[in-house]
Amino acid sequence: MGQDTPSRSDARGSPALLALDWGTSSLRAFLLSDTGDVVNARHAQRGILHLPAPAQAGGFEQAFAEIARDWLTQWPALQVVAAGMVGSAQGWKEAPYARCPVDARALAAQGVRVRSGLGPEVLIAPGVLFDVADHSPDVMRGEEIQIAGALAARPDWAERACVVLPGTHSKWARIEDGRIQSFATYMTGELYAVLRNHSILGRLMPSDAAAESSEAEAAFAVGLHAARDSRPGDLTRQLFATRTLGLTRRLPSETLADHLSGLLIGHELVSGLAASRAMLEAGAPILLIGDSALCGRYAHALATFGAPAHAQLDNTAPRGLWEFARAAGLLD
């Protein structure tokens, strides 16, 4: 289990909410005040694929107890909410997908309760399904809460925004009237990882050497520009260039991973920006949410493509969980 990270003094009075951001690989727990401020935070490598015991043998209970037992002993009346893969079919209890359009209220109305052995009920947020004719269906689980947290911060964003959450499975969500109207998933991060670790492209990439930052930036830019100039279907051809640019020594081998990253992020941007064009032309801001280093990479790429991000937000999940709890009437 990780360490306590008290962001503010615990002396401010009893917390109002225990909020769990419970994904595939990690579990984050937050104590929030009745105004939505984080007063304490913990994390553990206890994602739903890394439970201390099998799910059937009480693995969720045990992980929950490990991270929150003392808090619940101290404040037995705490309300508890959770979001992320904990609500999937492989989770603690399945919270079936809510359909677009959704906001925090719709999520709260479709939350699912599970009684914990420690006493309190846990309200688990549903994931979100986008499923309309002439589109492939799409799903998210966890990002809808991060989005709710971001929109709570600024009423003008809730009105209209294009929210991008870079990652293993990047999400592009279109927000209007306070609700997620539609979204799309790009496998950018996972594709980068499997190509680097399991394909011929990784063989030319040294695992130990770091590139000069200017050289790495240049290789990233070569990938971005190739993506920007691409025509339909070109990605699997352009991927091979990560190899041939190394073989022909056009790019130093230490920068090939940056080239691959630029190519994949660039393709995501080309497609995501085209799908959001009408919104962006009408003035919707682009919001980036997630890991700050990765968001920085996206911000740089967006600027290169002439579509700069308006804001870069770090962890909006605690605030989103608070909005979810409030919409469920748990904070009245």
Closer CB to its own copies, residue 134 or residue 332? Answer: 134
Residue 46: phi and psi, rounded to 5, are -125, 45
Q: If binding is defined by CB under 8 A, does position 188 make contact with its own copies?
A: yes
Give the nearest distance from C-beta 225 to its own copies in angstroms. Answer: 11
Binding part of the chain for its own copies, among 103-111, 158-166, 247-255, 293-301 by CB under 8 A, reads 247-255
Give the nearest distance from C-beta 168 to its own copies in angstroms. Answer: 8
Closer CB to its own copies, residue 258 or residue 323? Answer: 258
Give the nearest distance from C-beta 263 to its own copies in angstroms. Answer: 10
Binding part of the chain for its own copies, among 2-10, 35-43, 187-195, 278-286 by CB under 8 A, reads 187-195
Pairing of strands 17-22, 98-99: unpaired
Residue 196: phi and psi, rounded to 5, are -70, -40
Give the nearest distance from C-beta 241 to its own copies in angstroms. Answer: 4
Closer CB to its own copies, residue 106 or residue 191? Answer: 191
Residues 154 and 323: beta-carbon distance below 8 Å: no
User: Which residues, other chains included, contact 140 with Cβ-Cβ below 8 Å and sequence gap of 6+?
Assistant: 127, 128, 171, 173, 183, 185
Q: If binding is defined by CB under 8 A, does position 54 make contact with its own copies?
A: no
Strand order of the sheet with strand 38-44? Answer: 38-44, 27-32, 17-22, 79-83, 121-124, 112-115
Closer CB to its own copies, residue 65 or residue 275? Answer: 275
Q: If binding is defined by CB under 8 A, does position 112 make contact with its own copies?
A: no
What is the Cβ-side half-sphere exposure of residue 85, based on CA atoms within 13 angstroms?
Answer: 15
Residues 252 and 217: beta-carbon distance below 8 Å: no
Q: If binding is defined by CB under 8 A, does position 199 make contact with its own copies?
A: yes
Residues 246 and 219: beta-carbon distance below 8 Å: no
Pick out residues in 257-296 that bind its own copies (CB under 8 A): 264, 266-272, 274
Closer CB to its own copies, residue 14 or residue 244? Answer: 244
State the maximum Cα–Cα separation within the chain, in Å, rounded to a whole number: 65
Which one of residues 112, 118, 139, 311 is an interface residue with its own copies (CB under 8 A)? 139
C-alpha span between 285 and 290 (Å, rounded): 16
Give the nearest distance from C-beta 272 to its own copies in angstroms. Answer: 8
- In degrees, rounded to 5, the angle at the alpha carbon of residue 107 between the alpha carbons of residues 168 and 30 is 65
User: Alpha-carbon dihedral of residues 234, 236, 241, 243, nearest 10 degrees?
Assistant: 180
Q: If binding is defined by CB under 8 A, does position 48 make contact with its own copies?
A: no
- The structure tokens 């709260």 sit at 108
Closer CB to its own copies, residue 64 or residue 220? Answer: 220
Closer CB to its own copies, residue 69 or residue 250? Answer: 250
Give the nearest distance from C-beta 226 to its own copies in angstroms. Answer: 7
* Size, binding site for its own copies by CB under 8 A: 48
Q: If binding is defined by CB under 8 A, does position 169 make contact with its own copies?
A: yes
Give the nearest distance from C-beta 198 to its own copies in angstroms. Answer: 5
Say which amino acid occupies 201.
L
Q: If binding is defined by CB under 8 A, does position 195 make contact with its own copies?
A: yes
Q: Is 329 left (phi over 0), alpha (psi -120 to 50) or beta?
A: left
Q: Which residues bind to its own copies, rule: CB under 8 A?
A: 129, 131, 136-139, 169, 184-188, 190-191, 194-195, 197-200, 226-227, 230-241, 244-245, 247-248, 250, 264, 266-272, 274
